[in-house]
Amino acid sequence: MAKVLIVDDSRTSRKMLRNVLENNGHVIVDEAMNGQEGVQKFQACKPDLVTLDITMPIVDGVEALKMIRAFSSDVKIVMVTAAGQKSKMIECIKLGADEFITKPYEPGEVARVVESLLS
Q: Which residues bind other proteins (CB under 8 A)?
A: 9-13, 15-16, 55-57, 81-88, 102-104, 106, 108
Nearer to other proteins, 10 or 24 (CB): 10
Short-list 37, 35, 98, 46, CA closest to 72: 46
Shortest Cβ distance from residue 41 to other proteins (Å)? 19
Residue closer to other proteins by CB (options 15, 46) is: 15
In this complex, which beta carbon is closest to other proteins, that of residue 11 or of residue 46?
Answer: 11
Instruction: Please tell me the distance from the alpha carbon of residue 97 to that of residue 79, in angstroms, as a whole number.
Output: 7
Least distance between other proteins and beta carbon 98 (Å): 20
What's the min distance (Å) between Cβ of 87 and other proteins? 7
User: Can you tell me the distance from the alpha carbon of 39 to that of 59, in angstroms, rounded to the nearest whole number?
Assistant: 10
Burial class (CB in 10 A: 0-12, 13-18, 19+), 84: exposed
Select 2 or 28, whichever has its Cβ closest to other proteins. Answer: 28
| CA–CA separation, 20 and 71 (whole Å) | 27
